[in-house]
Structure 1
């Protein structure tokens, strides 16, 4: 099996959109994706880009992707790499693709001097949690994600 990981190209926008849609279905949110291939093109290939992505290929066929961006740790005084999405198609799971993507991103984070490499995982996805722990990840059990979006974001922004 020949596995390769390459930077995403503008022509991959529809593929990335497809992978995100498949991931949303897996995460029990099949109708939640509002992004479009055009919005991925704009986000990933603007100057500067809002995020970056790589495509995993087996025998030249796309089987997964990872999309990330940089955040910043005030405590460390350095940027970090935040993995927004990692997806491997069902037919390619168990073949080392996810492992290769994580290792690839860890290399990017280390090469860019990042203090951290972080991501979130759904608490019901025990196979993923077990996989991440086996790769050296540590759960941040004392932290919870907080989110404001949509109408709530507009209301918060309008407060004076």
Structure 2
């Protein structure tokens, strides 16, 4: 199967939003507000300073998406990229779609001032954890804590 990875375009917003909605429902049993989700996706697509979406396609069909956001590390004097919103259409899971997306991001990071590529995953999502570990990622020793306005 030939998997093409590309930068997302503004016209991809609806598919990205649908995939994000499916991700939230599948992994966290959350029903995201559609209007808020669409606004958030569009806003990121309009401002690469916020992050970037990547698309995986098979025969012109979008089958996977992910996004990176940026964190500056003074300790490392460089960027940390955070992989977020990972979703692969159920019909294409286990076919190497996320591996291609990840390797694409990894290659871009190697040509930029990126010190680390990170992501967070629900402890209960064993399949995703196994995929990330198989790709060479490792437990960082950090635990993510959160405060804020909720979901």
TM-score by length of 1: 0.86
1:155 matched to which residue of 2? none
2:52 and 2:76 map into 1 onto residues whose CA distance is 23
Matched length: 149
1:97 corresponds to which residue? 97
Alpha-carbon offset, residue 33 of structure 1: 4.8
Question: Measured at CA, do residues 108 and 33 of structure 1 come closer, stay the same or move farther in structure 2, by a change above 3 Å?
Answer: farther
Ranked by relative contact order (alpha carbons within 8 Å, sequence separation 6 or more), the top structure is 2
SS across alignment from 2:28: coil
Q: Is the 8 A contact 1:13 1:38 kept in 2?
A: no
Alignment partner, residue 83 of structure 1: 83
Distance 1:135 1:29 in 2: 27
Specify the alignment match of 1:68 in structure 2. Answer: 68
SS of equivalent to 2:104: helix
- Structure 2 CA distance, aligned partners of 1:137 and 1:116? 10
After the TM superposition, which of the residue ranges 5-14 and 29-38 deviates more from structure 2? 29-38
Structure 1 residue runs of 4+, over 2 Å off?
A: 32-39
**CA–CA distance in structure 2, aligned partners of residues 122 and 39 of structure 1:** 22
Q: Which residue of 2 aligns with 1:111?
A: 111
User: Deviation at 1:129?
Assistant: 1.2
Partner of 1:39: 40
Q: Any unmatched runs of 5+ in structure 2?
A: none
Larger Rg: 1
CA contact (8 A) 1:83 1:119 kept: yes
Task: Identify the residue that residue 149 of structure 2 maps to in structure 1.
Answer: 150
Structure 1, unaligned runs of 5 or more: 152-160
In 1: Cα distance, 2:147 partner to 2:92 partner = 35
Cα pair 1:44 1:52 within 8 Å, conserved: yes
When the two structures are superposed, what TM-score results if normalisation uses the length of structure 2?
0.91
CA RMSD of aligned residues (A): 1.6
